[in-house]
Copies of this chain bind each other. A is one copy, B any other.
Amino acid sequence: MKIAIYGYGNLGRGVECATLNHPDAELVAVFTRRPPETVKTALPGTPVYAADRLLEFKGQIDVLIICGGSATDLPEMTPMLAAHFNVIDSFDTHATIPTHFAAVDRAAVETGHLALISAGWDPGLFSIARLYASAVLPNGQDYTFWGRGISQGHSDAIRRIAGVVDARQYTVPVEEALSAVRAGETPVLTTREKHRRECYVVAAEGADLARIEREIKTMPNYFADYDTTVHFVTLDELRRDHAGMPHGGSVIRNGKSGFSGEHTHTVEFRLALDSNPEFTASVLVAYARTIHRMAGRGSIGCKTVFDIAPADLSPLSPEELRAHML
């Protein structure tokens, strides 16, 4: 299948690298809103074009992987591009998925294209894990723990404080809560009991560290409801020790069975990711395969990961899957 990348940040770069491990994915080009000559691709020789030249490539791209941000890029880009290509995105604003779905579905159905939104790990593989576990164990309790991992939104929130030069924030599951849930317990947990927040902050010379720490810890929504620790580090330390983009977490469901619910079962799906954007990119390429196949079977409109049978994700044939993977 011929894929192209629309938007070249960390995620786009991850998709480019992921094609190395997916031999059936041929990368046609990267499209960028920056001047193309300023973009240095991860792989030598990847063609880069200005985004406004995309329509010249109609008919040459099987699946367009849209690598924009969920806040402002994707709500506009995905419906617009689904009118011209089969597309996939990683839209991750849970609350507005229904609106995004409707807009993309309309554009895709009207023009006979196939789209898949919200692929990645949450939403994405975590959502699938939640669905399977709740379908199998209807009488149960769900938990999602995120981390240990970098939250871009929380890191940005710290950077907006006066006197902060740079910062990284780790979301960390509270070990006691995670252990209890893993052991089959079904506690009612407050926000504070589920996650804590670890901040590494570079302050400007002479800045009031106590004030910065106080402003972080009392910030509504972002930090006030959590146990937050603040570590001041140098810019060199931040670059040396906190340059990566690890993330992950666990979806856990504890459910009951038996005549009177006397048996407990724990279902856990866990991810530990060295690179959040590269893993998300790997999920996008695997789902691009499903879009290509389903489009070939005449499917149109907008889909989510819930609508895709597992077999369509694999490069193996149904016979091979039954013989070797079932």
Smallest CB–CB gap between A94 and chain B, Å?
7
Partner among B17, B271, B310, B323 whose Cβ is within 8 Å of the Cβ of A128: B310
Asked if A188 lies at the interface with its beta carbon under 8 angstroms from chain B, I say no
A92 to chain B, nearest CB (A): 10
Does A71 sit within 8 A of B, measured CB to CB? no
The residues in A between 262 and 313 inclusive whose CB is less than 8 angstroms from any CB of B are 263-275, 278-279, 281-283, 286, 289, 304-311, 313
State whether B271 touches A265 (Cβ < 8 A).
Answer: yes
Q: Are A132 and B278 within 8 A (Cβ)?
A: no
Copies in the complex: 2
In-complex Cβ contact of A270 among B101, B268, B274, B282 (8 A):
B268
Among A101, A135, A270, A318, which residue has the most Cβ atoms of chain B within 10 A?
A: A135
Which B residues touch A283, using CB under 8 A?
136
With both beta carbons as reference points, the residue of chain B lying nearest to A124 in the complex is identified as B326
| Residues in B whose Cβ lies below 8 Å from that of A323 | 97-98
Q: A131 and B258: CB pair below 8 A?
A: no
A273 to B256, CA, bound (A): 10
Contact B313 A135 (CB under 8 A): yes
A163 on the B face (CB < 8 A): no
Known: A278-B263, A279-B257, A323-B98. A310 touches B43 (CB 8 A): no
**A314 with B131, Cβ < 8 A, contacts A274-B265, A306-B326 known:** yes
Given A17-B257, A98-B319, A326-B118, answer yes or no on A279-B306 (Cβ-Cβ < 8 Å): no
14 residue pairs of the A-B complex, CB under 8 angstroms, read A14-B257, A43-B259, A97-B323, A98-B319, A135-B310, A137-B282, A258-B278, A266-B272, A266-B273, A304-B322, A306-B309, A306-B310, A306-B321, A307-B311
A contact residues vs B (CB 8 Å cutoff)? 14, 17-18, 20-22, 42-43, 94, 97-98, 101, 118, 123, 125, 127-132, 134-139, 184, 248, 255-259, 263-275, 278-279, 281-283, 286, 289, 304-311, 313-315, 318-319, 321-323, 325-326
